[in-house]
Chains A and B, each alone.
Chain A
Amino acid sequence: MHIPDGWVDLPTSAAAGVVAVGATAVAGRRAAAALRERATTLPAVVAAYILVAQLLVVPVGLGTSAHLIGAGLAALLVGPSVAIVCVAVVVVVQALVLADGGVTALGLNLVNDGIVPALVTFGIFLALRPAVLRAGTPHLRRRRAALGAGGAAAAGSLAAAGAATLAFVVGGTDAVPAHVVAASIGGAHLLLAAVEGALTGVILAAVLRLRPDMVRVLRTEMVGSQPDTSTEPAEVP
């Protein structure tokens, strides 16, 4: 979710802002080193991609809908440092151009929607990678990769819910007991995590089929492998 203006008090927003700016600066430097260029084109295109991917909404009832957050997916596709830079751009564009998410909550949104899910998803998938890459047909490996990515992204989404709850308990209104906040945010995020996991898995599987070398988290193992079109035709029209 995108935290709006005035959701938590100013000190908490400011603290999150400091964390966010620091992390983005570090991630920007690391991304530039990893891409061996000024970090512009790839992060910009991936940030635009995340914004477009968020347009695919999944209706979840009660008139509301869920959509991909994309930080976990981006971390798997381009690595966590580029992903964090991308989400920083995404939250800035959302807050200043699309009026989605608060301007004073920019730092908080970057921590919740970017840093936490990107690092958690990437970390969990790294732990799962040996199991994903066990012997098997390319089709089977891809299926395992999609499952692992989906699970990791769902966990990342839940971790983001935890961070949002923590921020609200620390800096939000004290009119509500903390466990009620945790229950309502956590409950909503069980659904969002399922959506995030499913979409991440399907998208990652599609990229793996078309250009396996583009999935950074699996790159070393799959470099040189050809696009696999043996099981079904590729999705490119």
Chain B
Amino acid sequence: MSSAHRQERAAARLHGPVSRLPPGPKVAGLVAFLVVVAVTPATAPAALAAEGLIAAAVATLALVDWRAVAGRLTLDLPLAVLALATALAGRPPHVEVAGLTLSQPGLRAGLAIVARATIGIVAVSAVAASSSVPEIVDGLRRLGAPGWFRQLVAVTARQLQVLRADLAKLRLAVAVRTGSGRRTLALASGARSLGSLFVRSTERAERLRLAAELRGGELAPAATPAGSAAAWAVALVPAALALVARVGLG
């Protein structure tokens, strides 16, 4: 349909031990691990550090692209600001850190927020790097997501590729027409091209619906094999380790 599809197929996924795990257990294992992280209190920094190491180890096994993970970690920046605010404005007792008077519980809470968010980003990166989108969609079934919703996620992921390519074309056209690299102008025309992108993509949705009706079938995502008991056991190892760290170090 679009060159975007080819690009995605061409971006060959690296195959490591984690990518061989069936998606159902993998997504369930991710959720279990993150639930344990979420209940690890700020007063147990050693447990949080251990959970961070577990996430990093799994991510290494999953052959994540650490540069991409570093890019995603910029999502932590606003949280770091929030952490600083909690440390500055938190309740007593206060401690001196590098000449600043900081609230000890506030500092702990702020650091814990940043730590959990970072662990989350690394853990999700590990799953995302080792699964194709259809696999993740199938993994959603293990979380009880109904069929219509999974189908929706699958079509969205495909359309995301197409729309990205569309937007790039629109932007190029705007840049050529206005012939300006000025930032404010680029923003304004970028917003306007988003308007025409909506019109284009809604018209495409209509065509997609027609095509699906003509085929008489659904746009059903392919099912992947259910996990064996061994796969489930492997997938739940990080969560189990995190639980051990939470209880042992907490």
Cβ of A173 and Cβ of B109 under 8 Å apart? yes
19 contacts between A and B (CB under 8 A): A4-B120, A6-B113, A43-B152, A44-B159, A46-B201, A58-B187, A63-B77, A64-B78, A89-B156, A98-B128, A99-B124, A100-B75, A104-B35, A104-B120, A175-B108, A177-B91, A211-B202, A235-B195, A236-B196
B96 near A: Cβ within 8 Å? no
Partner of B188, one of A92, A93, A202: A202
Residues on the B chain within 8 Å of A206, using CB: 191-192, 194-196, 198
Distance between A31 CB and nearest chain B CB, rounded to angstroms: 10
State the 6 A-B residue pairs at the shortest beta-carbon distance, nearest first: A206-B195, A6-B116, A4-B117, A237-B173, A5-B120, A173-B109
Partner of B90, one of A10, A103, A176, A237: A176
Cβ of B89 and Cβ of A177 under 8 Å apart? yes
Cβ of B133 and Cβ of A207 under 8 Å apart? no
State how many residues of chain A have any CB contact under 8 Å with chain B: 73
Cβ of B196 and Cβ of A103 under 8 Å apart? no
Cβ of A52 and Cβ of B156 under 8 Å apart? no
A160 near B: Cβ within 8 Å? no
Q: Find residues 79-94 in chain A having any chain B CB closer than 8 Å to their own CB.
A: 85, 88-90, 92-93
Distance between B92 CB and nearest chain A CB, rounded to angstroms: 10
Distance between B90 CB and nearest chain A CB, rounded to angstroms: 5
Q: Find residues 30-80 in chain A having any chain B CB closer than 8 Å to their own CB.
A: 32, 37-49, 51-53, 55-56, 58, 62-64, 77
Partner of B82, one of A45, A184, A210: A184
Residues on the A chain within 8 Å of B196, using CB: 206, 210, 234-236
Given contacts A96-B124, A175-B103, contact A7 B116 (CB under 8 A): yes
A20 near B: Cβ within 8 Å? no
Q: Find residues 201-225 in chain B having any chain A CB closer than 8 Å to their own CB.
A: 201-202, 204-206, 208-209, 212-213, 218-219
Measured CA separation A175–B213 after assembly (Å) = 56
Measured CA separation A32–B117 after assembly (Å) = 35
Cβ of A48 and Cβ of B162 under 8 Å apart? yes
A1 near B: Cβ within 8 Å? yes
Measured CA separation A205–B192 after assembly (Å) = 8
A102 near B: Cβ within 8 Å? yes
Q: Find residues 68-94 in chain B having any chain A CB closer than 8 Å to their own CB.
A: 69, 72, 75-79, 81-82, 85-86, 89-91
Residues on the A chain within 8 Å of B109, using CB: 173, 175-176
A143 near B: Cβ within 8 Å? no
Distance between A54 CB and nearest chain B CB, rounded to angstroms: 10
A28 near B: Cβ within 8 Å? yes
Residues on the B chain within 8 Å of A64, using CB: 77-78, 81
Given contacts A41-B212, A96-B128, A176-B91, contact A1 B78 (CB under 8 A): yes
Cβ of A38 and Cβ of B174 under 8 Å apart? no
Cβ of B152 and Cβ of A6 under 8 Å apart? no
A140 near B: Cβ within 8 Å? no
Cβ of A210 and Cβ of B91 under 8 Å apart? no
Given contacts A5-B38, A103-B31, A204-B195, contact A44 B156 (CB under 8 A): yes
Q: CB-nearest residue of chain A relative to B205?
A: A45
The interface of chain B, by Cβ under 8 A from chain A, is: 27, 30-31, 34-35, 37-40, 42, 69, 72, 75-79, 81-82, 85-86, 89-91, 103, 105-106, 108-109, 112-113, 115-117, 119-121, 124-125, 127-128, 133, 136, 139-140, 145, 148-149, 151-153, 155-157, 159-160, 162-164, 167, 169-170, 173-174, 177, 187-188, 190-202, 204-206, 208-209, 212-213, 218-219
Residues on the A chain within 8 Å of B194, using CB: 52-53, 56, 199, 203, 206
Dominant secondary structure of chain B at its interface with chain A: helix
Measured CA separation A98–B120 after assembly (Å) = 11
Distance between A106 CB and nearest chain B CB, rounded to angstroms: 9
Cβ of A42 and Cβ of B91 under 8 Å apart? no
Dominant secondary structure of chain A at its interface with chain B: helix
Cβ of B197 and Cβ of A173 under 8 Å apart? no
A180 near B: Cβ within 8 Å? yes
A131 near B: Cβ within 8 Å? no
A153 near B: Cβ within 8 Å? no
Measured CA separation A92–B153 after assembly (Å) = 8
Measured CA separation A38–B209 after assembly (Å) = 10
Given contacts A51-B160, A173-B86, A237-B174, contact A203 B152 (CB under 8 A): no
Partner of B160, one of A1, A5, A93, A205: A93
